[in-house]
Structure 1
Amino acid sequence: MSRDWIYLVPALCALVLPGVHQVEGIEVLTSSELEAVNGTDVRLKCTFKSTQPLSEETVSVSWTFRPLGKSLEKSIFLYHKQAYPPKDETFKDHAVWSGNVMNGDASITLRNVQFSFNGTYSCQVRNPPDFQGFAGEISLRVVQKAAEGQKYLINWARIADSLL
């Protein structure tokens, strides 16, 4: 009986191992918190690194939004080969694609932010066969006007974004 196992184990390995693929993860990076002044534009920056070659054909990006105090997320933006802007009335004409997947950038820009935009934004990136275990999350706080020191930081952030 024990001699049968000697032949059975290699046979099983030969059948099973070719179907096993090593799967890597995509690293997604976002800032954790962001503040924007009501009525201005803000870039929700999401960058990623994949172990697989990047291609417009394979990379897909999805953005979701969870309002403050709510537990349900809703999809607000999709990108796969092209941008699919939101149809949701809250973000329609506000959320625009500002990324470049070939450079590892999955960012969107929110134009003319409103107080209803307060909440958590999640960025998920897929590049098969890579998978992503964790979404990048940004907590956005929309304020009436920036604090004095914050104005300085916001202006420098806009200058830095325009240079990228």
Structure 2
Amino acid sequence: MFYPMYRIWLLLLLVALVPGVRVVSGIDIYTPGEIEVVNGTDVKLKCTFSSRQPVTLQTVTVSWNFRGINSQSDESVFYFHEEAFPPDGRFKDRVVWSGDVMKQDASITLQKVQPSFNGTYICQVRNRPDVHGNNGEIVLRVVNKVSLSEIGILAAAVGGACAVILILLGIFVAVRLYRRRQLENDMELHQQEQVKTVW
């Protein structure tokens, strides 16, 4: 019982004393998984991050890369370090910096998207010395018109149900009014017949 505990303490002591052993911090990046956008419109690619180190303009670098649907290589989309550096190539004059590193936002906006923009966008943020961590990825689909999303389908279903209920309610009220008017007419006729029989 004593021997295994002795080994654990010895191991902990060695780890603490060995030079160069450091606790590695990481950076976490958050992006939506997939975005659908209509051809010719603008779209914001949202990328936020959290770092265990203080965030400053001097320590943060943001890189956006693009990987086409059938491509194995990445293409530079945007780079930010203290200021924005837009790219050349297919994304020239089509990318605008929409982030604020002091608010831990590394978002960009693509303007007038084209079908050639279909693919995966990779957001990479580093905040020295916090340089380890995951990359954020967004799959962008450029379509000719927006397909119905789950929210759109739900809204259409609720709207349709409300319309059906209103129609049924209108029919119910109309039938009640018709019956009441019919009953009043029948009572009036009955009273007139009684008056005639008296005379």
TM score, norm. by length of structure 1: 0.79
**Structure 1 CA distance for aligned equivalents of residues 110 and 103 of structure 2:** 20
**Structure 1 CA distance for aligned equivalents of residues 94 and 23 of structure 2:** 40
Report the equivalent of 2:122: 122
Q: Residue type matched to 1:109 in 2? A: T
- Cα pair 1:23 1:131 within 8 Å, conserved: no
**Structure 2 CA distance for aligned equivalents of residues 58 and 131 of structure 1:** 10
**Structure 2 CA distance for aligned equivalents of residues 44 and 51 of structure 1:** 24
**Structure 2 CA distance for aligned equivalents of residues 34 and 149 of structure 1:** 11
TM-superposed deviation, 1:22: 2.2
TM-superposed deviation, 1:108: 0.4
More helix per residue: 2
Q: Aligned-pair RMSD on alpha carbons? A: 2.4
**Structure 2 CA distance for aligned equivalents of residues 127 and 63 of structure 1:** 15
**Structure 2 CA distance for aligned equivalents of residues 74 and 148 of structure 1:** 31
Report the equivalent of 1:144: 144
**Structure 2 CA distance for aligned equivalents of residues 150 and 77 of structure 1:** 32
Give 3-state SS (helix, strand or coil) of 1:26's partner: strand
Give 3-state SS (helix, strand or coil) of 1:116's partner: helix
| Stretches (4+) displaced over 3 A | 148-153
**Structure 2 CA distance for aligned equivalents of residues 66 and 151 of structure 1:** 29
- Which whole-Å deviations, capped at 9, do the CAs of 1:22-64 have from their partners, x for residues lacking one? 2200000001100000010000000000000000000000000
TM-superposed deviation, 1:74: 1.2
TM-superposed deviation, 1:133: 2.8
Report the equivalent of 1:57: 58
Q: Residue type matched to 1:123 in 2? A: C
**Structure 2 CA distance for aligned equivalents of residues 68 and 150 of structure 1:** 25
- Which whole-Å deviations, capped at 9, do the CAs of 1:108-147 have from their partners, x for residues lacking one? 0000001100000000000011123321000000000112
Alignment of 1:10-159 (within 5 A): 16-17=18-19, 19-88=20-89, 90-148=90-148
- Cα pair 1:67 1:120 within 8 Å, conserved: yes
**Structure 2 CA distance for aligned equivalents of residues 111 and 151 of structure 1:** 25
Which structure: larger Rg? Answer: 2
Q: Residue type matched to 2:126 in 1? A: R
Greater relative CO (CA pairs within 8 A, separation 6+): 1
Q: Residue type matched to 1:32 in 2? A: G
Unaligned stretches of 5+ residues in structure 1: 1-9, 154-164
Give 3-state SS (helix, strand or coil) of 1:64's partner: strand
**Structure 2 CA distance for aligned equivalents of residues 118 and 96 of structure 1:** 18
**Structure 1 CA distance for aligned equivalents of residues 78 and 130 of structure 2:** 21
TM-superposed deviation, 1:85: 0.5
Unaligned stretches of 5+ residues in structure 2: 1-12, 154-199
- Which whole-Å deviations, capped at 9, do the CAs of 1:92-120 have from their partners, x for residues lacking one? 01011000000010000000001100000
